[in-house]
């Protein structure tokens, strides 16, 4: 088995709207011996505003981000993709990667007209060492040493956990150093808690997680919310037909007898009441699922005793009518997500058709003038927008003057947005920089002052560019046309 440990350094903490600035990865064998390493940086995208806090943490200057000798974002993503594909199939692992680095990588691939699912398709699977570390603390706490926070709770920050376990982490928040720290912790866990390690790696495959969840009528399911564990003893029902990565499960804290004879309306109402009878195991997100008897001392439901727990599970597993009504009620009870008006937020709004998938491959193989023609041929509106934006960012000279002007205006509008938007705007970044300068040390003050100069200059240029904008539409939704 091959492992790929990776980390990103970014413009901020918003995994959907910030940008990867540095990517690093190390390929290892099954014993976690290093085989190869890779790292790359990129320039700042013109429509992305770096947050001052992120640059202080990573010690990156705005001059470094504007360095013309660095690859563009598109060039960086192409290099990352090529390297990761050459290392596949593998288990892709980071530290808090599922909630952050994975999302940034998916966005980077999506925004450059690639499939965003590189790490969990074609034989690849995923794991998150932060989730494994939290499981270690809950089930085998003596395996790792824990740095203690001021509030007396253990710290799960990598820059605290790695030194507490013997890693000299001088360059924390530098991508390659964080990868090395992650591998250091992984080696300890694999060596001292091999059963838990192997189990977690196995559950990194969606298919394996689904099969494991459904293989027994009783399972212990654990989720970590803000590093706090929540445990349930559940009886898995079935895969959600609308979300194939989810396994709908029944919480045995609720006696099935209470709901067995409820009509559809009453059952639907009961599903939203506390305690909720149904829990969803996210099999596509490296879930923590274990044998039910590991819940001893962790979940009150365990006190019901083995006989009662199996009786309840038996009802759930054998009453087909109840199963069908539960699955139907679950489908009706789910909240519908409002579609995002912004292109980044539409990443999961369906898969491209076969013709568009082929067109995406063709797009990267041809010259930029031809790409400008191909951009209009995509059936998927998102891909048309992404293609045109990518052409503008990389080779705007192949676009007509009107479209270049329109993009420049749209970028200015995006950066200066006064309405509530999910990304960092220039005015917000300037205000945050001013606040940080007041309390910064000398080294950080110099970095922040240079950043402020850049932000102010960028704001003036954006005002000029956006003066003649025909509408307040932002770049991510503006150029949606069939022309």
- Which SS3 state, helix, strand or coil, does residue 373 take? helix
Do 372 and 453 lie in one domain? The reply is yes
Do 266 and 372 lie in one domain? The reply is no
Q: Which H/E stretch holds residue 408?
A: helix 401-415
* Residues linked to residue 5 through DSSP beta bridges, in sequence order: 26, 93
Closest among 66, 64, 4 to 38, alpha carbons compared: 4
Backbone torsions φ then ψ of 224, nearest 5 degrees: -115, 115
Residue 39 makes CB contacts below 8 A (sequence gap 6+) with 22, 23, 24, 25, 175, 176
Distance CA 83, CA 73 (A): 15
345 in a domain, yes or no? no
Do 244 and 312 lie in one domain? The reply is yes
How high is the pLDDT of residue 468?
A: 56
Do 441 and 315 lie in one domain? The reply is no
Backbone torsions φ then ψ of 25, nearest 5 degrees: -150, 150
Do 158 and 11 lie in one domain? The reply is yes
Backbone torsions φ then ψ of 150, nearest 5 degrees: -55, -25
How high is the pLDDT of residue 465?
A: 81
10 Å CB burial of residue 270 (0-12, 13-18, 19+) is middle
Q: Where do we find the tokens 């048309």?
A: 384
CATH number, domain with residue 70: 3.30.420.10
Residue 361 makes CB contacts below 8 A (sequence gap 6+) with none
How high is the pLDDT of residue 473?
A: 40
Distance CA 402, CA 392 (A): 12
ω into 275 cis (within 30 of 0): yes
Q: Where do we find the tokens 């240079």?
A: 450
Residues of the domain holding 165: 3-198
Distance CA 216, CA 285 (A): 20
Helix, strand, coil share of the chain (percent; to 5): 50, 15, 35
Do 91 and 138 lie in one domain? The reply is yes
Do 177 and 71 lie in one domain? The reply is yes
Q: Tell which of 299, 333, 367 closes a domain.
A: 333
Contact of 15 with 392, CB cutoff 8 Å? no
210 in a domain, yes or no? no
Measured CA angle at 227 (ends 226, 230), to 5 deg: 95
Contact of 465 with 85, CB cutoff 8 Å? no
Strand 243-251's sheet: what is its strand order?
Answer: 278-282, 243-251, 228-240, 219-225, 288-291
Tell me how many helices (H) and strands (E) the chain has: 19, 10
Contact of 220 with 167, CB cutoff 8 Å? no
Distance CA 466, CA 285 (A): 41
Do 327 and 386 lie in one domain? The reply is no
The token pair at 379 is: 């059936």
123 in a domain, yes or no? yes
- Which SS3 state, helix, strand or coil, does residue 1 take? coil
Backbone torsions φ then ψ of 97, nearest 5 degrees: -70, -35
Do 150 and 298 lie in one domain? The reply is no
Per-residue burial over 445-475, b = 16 or more CB atoms within 10 Å of its CB, e = otherwise = eebbeebbebbeebbebbeebbeebeeebbb
347 in a domain, yes or no? no
Q: Tens place of pLDDT for every residue, the chain, 483 residues?
A: 999 999 999 999 999 999 999 999 999 999 999 999 999 999 999 999 999 999 999 889 999 999 999 999 999 999 999 999 999 999 999 999 999 999 999 999 999 999 999 999 999 999 999 999 999 999 999 999 999 999 999 999 999 999 999 998 787 789 999 999 999 999 999 999 999 999 999 999 999 999 999 999 999 999 998 889 999 999 999 999 999 999 999 999 999 999 999 999 999 999 989 999 999 999 999 999 999 999 999 999 999 999 999 999 999 999 999 999 999 999 998 877 788 999 999 999 999 999 999 999 999 999 999 999 999 999 999 999 999 999 999 999 999 999 999 999 999 999 999 999 999 999 999 999 999 999 999 989 999 999 999 999 999 999 988 775 444 344 444 444 333
Distance CA 49, CA 429 (A): 7
* Residues linked to residue 236 through DSSP beta bridges, in sequence order: 249
305 vs 263, 411, 421, CA distance in Å? 29, 62, 51
346 in a domain, yes or no? no
Do 314 and 367 lie in one domain? The reply is no
CATH number, domain with residue 279: 3.30.1520.20
Contact of 399 with 406, CB cutoff 8 Å? no
Q: Tell which of 171, 198, 225 closes a domain.
A: 198
244 in a domain, yes or no? yes
pTM value is 0.93
Round the CA-based radius of gyration of the chain to a whole number and report it: 25
Do 236 and 329 lie in one domain? The reply is yes
Q: Which H/E stretch holds residue 281?
A: strand 278-282
Strands 91-94 and 34-41, sheet pairing: unpaired
The token pair at 441 is: 């040390």
394 in a domain, yes or no? yes
Count: domains in the chain: 3
Do 72 and 173 lie in one domain? The reply is yes
341 in a domain, yes or no? no
Q: Tell which of 333, 364, 388 closes a domain.
A: 333
């Amino acid at each position: 088995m091959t492992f790929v440990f990776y980390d990103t350094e970014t413009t901020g903490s918003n995994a959907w709207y910030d940008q990867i600035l540095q990517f690093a990865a190390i390929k290892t064998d099954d014993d976690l011996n290093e085989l190869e390493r890779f790292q790359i940086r990129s320039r700042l995208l013109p429509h992305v505003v770096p947050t001052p806090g992120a640059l202080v943490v990573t010690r990156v200057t705005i001059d470094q981000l504007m360095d013309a000798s660095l690859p563009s974002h598109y060039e960086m993503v192409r290099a990352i993709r090529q390297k990761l594909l050459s290392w596949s199939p593998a288990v892709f692992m980071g530290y808090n990667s599922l909630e952050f680095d994975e999302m940034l990588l998916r966005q980077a691939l999506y925004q450059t007209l690639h499939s965003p699912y590189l790490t969990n398709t074609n034989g690849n699977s995923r794991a998150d060492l932060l989730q494994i570390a939290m499981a270690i603390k809950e089930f085998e706490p003596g395996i790792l040493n824990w740095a203690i926070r001021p509030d007396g709770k253990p710290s799960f920050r990598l820059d605290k956990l790695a030194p507490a376990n013997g890693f000299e982490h001088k360059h924390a928040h530098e991508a390659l150093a964080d990868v090395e720290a992650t591998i250091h912790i992984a080696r300890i866990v694999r060596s001292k808690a091999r059963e838990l390690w192997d189990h977690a790696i196995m559950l990194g495959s969606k298919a394996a997680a689904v099969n494991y969840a459904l293989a027994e009528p009783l399972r212990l399911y654990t989720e970590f919310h803000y590093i706090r564990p929540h445990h349930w003893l559940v009886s898995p029902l079935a895969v959600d037909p609308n979300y194939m990565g989810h396994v709908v499960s029944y919480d045995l804290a609720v006696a099935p007898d209470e709901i067995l004879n409820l009509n559809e309306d009453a059952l639907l109402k009961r599903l939203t009441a506390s305690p909720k009878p149904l829990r969803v195991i996210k099999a596509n997100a490296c879930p923590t699922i274990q044998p039910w008897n590991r819940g001893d001392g962790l979940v009150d439901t365990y006190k019901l005793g083995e006989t009662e727990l199996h009786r309840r599970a038996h009802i759930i597993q054998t009453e087909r009518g109840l199963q069908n009504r539960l699955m139907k009620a679950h489908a009706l009870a789910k909240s519908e997500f409002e579609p995002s008006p912004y292109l980044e937020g539409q990443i999961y709004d369906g898969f491209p058709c076969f013709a568009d998938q082929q067109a995406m491959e063709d797009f990267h193989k041809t010259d930029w003038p031809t790409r400008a023609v191909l951009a209009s041929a995509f059936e998927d509106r998102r891909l048309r927008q992404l293609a045109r934006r990518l052409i503008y960012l990389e080779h705007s000279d192949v676009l007509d003057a009107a479209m270049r002007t329109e993009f420049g205006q749209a970028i200015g509008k995006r950066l200066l947005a006064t309405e509530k938007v999910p990304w960092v705007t220039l005015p917000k970044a300037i205000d945050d920089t001013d606040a940080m300068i007041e309390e910064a040390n000398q080294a950080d003050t110099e970095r922040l002052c240079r950043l402020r100069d850049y932000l102010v200059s960028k704001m003036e240029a954006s005002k000029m560019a956006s003066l003649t904008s025909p509408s307040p539409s932002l770049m991510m939704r503006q150029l949606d046309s069939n022309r």
